[in-house]
C-alpha cells in the first residue's frame, strides 16, 4: 500500500499559515476607524491601508500586537489544516511548527507574551496532541535567519509557509521542497508551487 507521508519531515510556519487572522485584522482595524465599513481586503491590503495613515507604521505595529496577543483567541484554523496534520501524522510523517515570532511586541500591548498566547491557541485548535503535532515540536525563533537554521537542524524534507521571502532567502536549504500557501501569490518563474489551501497540499502529496 502506498504511503505518501512515510519518511517525510514536514515543517510548517504558524502565523497566516496554520493560524488565519484576516477577519481579526479587519474587525480591529474597523474598531479603530483605520478602514471603511465596506473594506473587504486581506491582511496585506489592510496593512497597506493602515501604513498610509498618519503615523501608519506605528499604528500597524500596534494592530499586530493586539491581534497576535490579547485577541488571538478569535483566530481561525486554516482551511484543511486539521485534516492535513492528522493525515500526515497517521501516514508516518514527522511534523514540526517553526515560526519567526517575537516574545513580546515592541509597540502596543507589550506585556503579553505572544509565544505563550500562540501556544495557548494551539492547545485548543486540534492541531497539536496525540493525533497532531507534538507540543515539543513547536519552535519560535527571533529572526528569519534562525528560523531557517531551525529548518536545517530539523532536517525537514518539506516546508509550508505563506511568505515568499522565506523561500527566496539565499540561506534557505536547496534540498527542502518549498510549498507556498496563499491565493495572492504569483510565482510562475520560481522553483516552487503555490497552493490555495491545505486540501491542495494534501492532494499534492497523495499524487506525488
DSSP 171: T
Per-residue confidence (pLDDT) for residue 154, from 0 to 100 = 98
Q: Is 116 left (phi over 0), alpha (psi -120 to 50) or beta?
A: alpha
Tell me the pLDDT tens digit for each residue of 11-39: 999 999 999 999 999 999 999 999 999 99
Q: Is the pLDDT of residue 6 over 70?
A: yes
How far from 157 is each of 12, 73, 86, 122, 174, CA to CA, in Å?
11, 31, 18, 23, 10
**HSE-up (13 A, CA, CB side) for residue 58:** 4
Per-residue confidence (pLDDT) for residue 184, from 0 to 100 = 64
What predicted TM-score, i.e. pTM, was given to this entire model?
A: 0.91
- 9-19+77-207 is a CATH 3.40.50.2300 domain: no
Residue 76 CB neighbours (<10 A): 13
Per-residue confidence (pLDDT) for residue 192, from 0 to 100 = 87
C-alpha–C-alpha distance, residues 69 and 29, integer Å:
15
Per-residue confidence (pLDDT) for residue 207, from 0 to 100 = 83
Tell me the pLDDT tens digit for each residue of 47-82: 999 999 999 999 998 998 899 999 999 999 999 999
Q: Where are the domains of the chain?
A: 9-19+77-207, 23-73
Amino acid at each position: 500500500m502506498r504511503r505518501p507521508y512515510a519518511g517525510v519531515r514536514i515543517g510548517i510556519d504558524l502565523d497566516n499559515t496554520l493560524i488565519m487572522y484576516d477577519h481579526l485584522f479587519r474587525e480591529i482595524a474597523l474598531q479603530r476607524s483605520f478602514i471603511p465599513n465596506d473594506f473587504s481586503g486581506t491582511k496585506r491590503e489592510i496593512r497597506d491601508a493602515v501604513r498610509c495613515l498618519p503615523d501608519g507604521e506605528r499604528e500597524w505595529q500596534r494592530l499586530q500586537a493586539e491581534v497576535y496577543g490579547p485577541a488571538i483567541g478569535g483566530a481561525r484554523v486554516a482551511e484543511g489544516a486539521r485534516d492535513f496534520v492528522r493525515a500526515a501524522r497517521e501516514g508516518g510523517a514527522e511534523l514540526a511548527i517553526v515560526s519567526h515570532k517575537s516574545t513580546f511586541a515592541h509597540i502596543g500591548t507589550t506585556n503579553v507574551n505572544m509565544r505563550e498566547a500562540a501556544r495557548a491557541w494551539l492547545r485548543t485548535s486540534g492541531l497539536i496532541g496525540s493525533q497532531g503535532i507534538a507540543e515539543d515540536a513547536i519552535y519560535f525563533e527571533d529572526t528569519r535567519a534562525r528560523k531557517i537554521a531551525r529548518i536545517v537542524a530539523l532536517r525537514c524534507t518539506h516546508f509550508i509557509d505563506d511568505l515568499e521571502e522565506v523561500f527566496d532567502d539565499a540561506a534557505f536549504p536547496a534540498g527542502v521542497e518549498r510549498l507556498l500557501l496563499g491565493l495572492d501569490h504569483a510565482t510562475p518563474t520560481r522553483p516552487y508551487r503555490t497552493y490555495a489551501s491545505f486540501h491542495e497540499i494534501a492532494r499534492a502529496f497523495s499524487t506525488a
